Amino acid sequence: MKDDFIRKELERCVRCGNCMSVCPVYEVMGREGGVARGKVSLFRAHLDGLLDDDDPAYREILTSCLLCGRCKSACPNEVDTPAIVQAARARMARRGRLGRLKAFVLNWILPKPALIKRLAQMARIGRPFWAARVPKSSGLRVRFMRGPGGEQRQLPELAPRFYLDRDQEDKRAAEGAPRVALFVGCVHNMMRPEGAEAAVEVLRRAGAQVVVPREQACCGLPAWGAGHEEGARALARRNVDALWPAGESAPDFVTSPCASCAAMLNQHMAELLVEDTERALRAKELAARVIPFSILWTRLTGVEAEGPAREADPEACRVTYHDPCHLSRGFGEKDAPRFLLTHLSDVQFVDMSHPCRCCGHGGFFNLAHYDLSLRMADDKARRIMDTGAQVVATECSGCLIQLQEALARAGSTQEVLTTAEAALRYGLNIDKD
């Protein structure tokens, strides 16, 4: 069924070139292969037997895509280029074209949280040998080796204790309160537990009963996006069982401080489990209950119907917002995070220019095509700095790390927070406690 769908999508591309005006990769690459119609043509040629997927140029072009969805939104036929590119990568992965080490990491290590935890502990112990401390004022904690071109890279420090290893405070909610399962995500579990803590507290104040299933793992997006579907499938099985154990009642909602995690659970978990009938049924019903954090907050509080709040005190902290691709295009939502931010009592909200332009992270894109990713991130950092905001909020873990690194590289002191962290710090005007 999936192969038939991809073939039909390939044929629906009429090569009009609308994608050229919106593709962030094409903008920095400047070559036909960087844009959607170029990738579509190459994959079609491969399926027709005219091009070998072992060709280095073919692999380079089909991996140089962020799966951001801008091409699909601009296409008059709405050709699903992200699905086409992911299918091309999956085909290369199955044929062993994308590297054994990458396949090993994504198919065999990523689906094992206990192993990842041990590796992370070893990384913390051995940190002096592979990383250098940087000032806390940079917003980052660890300098991570170097990029392919010798650029110094920076990442948040691993947390001394992962969020999912911590004792969760069991607060009683009002009778009849919606039961919300929080999907933490790798970054907020291992690097930024404060993001998960903020999400739990803000949702509780909005009147929800929040539960955090301990057996959850990575959402699987890094593996799925890179074409390594076996690893993504193993993670999907684990997460379905964690979020909705067999024989138990399902949560009313599933949410996450990371919209990319939410998109993976909502849009791909069920399709990965199509041959696992019982889990596939649970996954499909769970998918319908997955709602990104800011959207869920607006619904719980009634802000969805109210819209944005009145203008804040001009002397309040200036906050801007970066739209993650998986929220603005994956869920088609731009208003909810802005409604949340404009309802903060101590915030003056200001939009940046082109807030929906991709920051260039894109999971493994950031590793495989760091030079392109760097240029996109630097452009985004300039737009953030031009706002004069002290804080930039976002709702994606990958975007958060990318923005932190880009702003630190630009010498900016602007802080990057999740929407949940901003809500907790700057005071909600709506509180159901």
Q: How far apart are CA 316 and CA 295, in angstroms?
A: 24
Give the per-residue pLDDT at 204. Answer: 94
Q: What is the pLDDT of residues 189-243, one digit of tens each?
A: 999 999 999 999 999 999 999 999 999 999 999 999 999 999 999 999 999 999 9
- Residue ranges covered by each domain of the chain: 2-94, 304-426
With 90 as the cut, is the pLDDT of residue 356 above it? yes
* Beta strands 142-146 and 131-133, pairing class: antiparallel
Give the per-residue pLDDT at 276. Answer: 95
AA identity, residue 256: S
With 60 as the cut, is the pLDDT of residue 141 above it? no
Lowest mean pLDDT among 27-36, 45-54, 167-176, 371-380: 167-176
Confidence of residue 307 (pLDDT cuts 50, 70, 90): confident
Rounded mean pLDDT, 349-354: 95
Higher-confidence residue of 143 and 213: namely 213
Q: What is the pLDDT of residues 397-409, one digit of tens each?
A: 999 999 999 999 9
Give the per-residue pLDDT at 364. Answer: 85
Domain topology for 2-94: Fumarate Reductase Iron-sulfur Protein; Chain B, domain 2 (1.10.1060)
With 80 as the cut, is the pLDDT of residue 396 above it? yes
Give the per-residue pLDDT at 136. Answer: 47
For residues 350 and 320, the answer to whether their CB atoms sit within 8 Å is yes
Strands (E), 118-235: 131-133, 142-146, 152-155, 179-182, 209-211
Rounded mean pLDDT, 14-27: 94
Give the per-residue pLDDT at 295. Answer: 96
With 70 as the cut, is the pLDDT of residue 394 above it? yes
Give the per-residue pLDDT at 176. Answer: 84
Q: How far apart are CA 376 and CA 357, in angstroms?
A: 9
Share of the chain above pLDDT 70, in %: 90
Q: Which CATH superfamily is domain 304-426 in?
A: AF0625-like (3.40.50.10700)
State the chain's mean pLDDT as an integer: 90
